[in-house]
Amino acid sequence: MVRSALRRFLGQQPGLYVVGEAAEDQELLAQLEVACPDLVLLDWDLPGRPVADLIPALRRPDCQPAVIVLAVRPEPAQSALDAGAEAFVYKGESPKRLLTT
């Protein structure tokens, strides 16, 4: 439900195009084989391998998306940044914060 709402919200923003969504890590990696997005919004609690291990796997020589990690708690922020995320957004913040980031 949250993923669907986020997709609708982002799809309404000028200049932003949602090219996919994934419910777990293997689905995300498979989609990145087909499309190379400029940005990946990554849920800290995405099912599969730990996100800190997943972030480096999102980048290949031919595809280097920026990664913003989203989480329901602010505590994982430093771990996400240490793993290579460009930014972290706490889900309790306003949607405008995500757009600004």
Spell out the per-residue pLDDT of the chain, length 101, in tens. 678 888 888 889 999 899 999 999 999 999 999 999 999 999 999 999 999 999 999 998 999 999 999 999 999 999 999 999 999 999 888 888 988 99
Q: What is the pTM of this model?
A: 0.91
CATH code at 2-100 = 3.40.50.2300
Structure tokens at 100: 């600004």
Partner residues linked to 70 by β-bridges:
43, 89
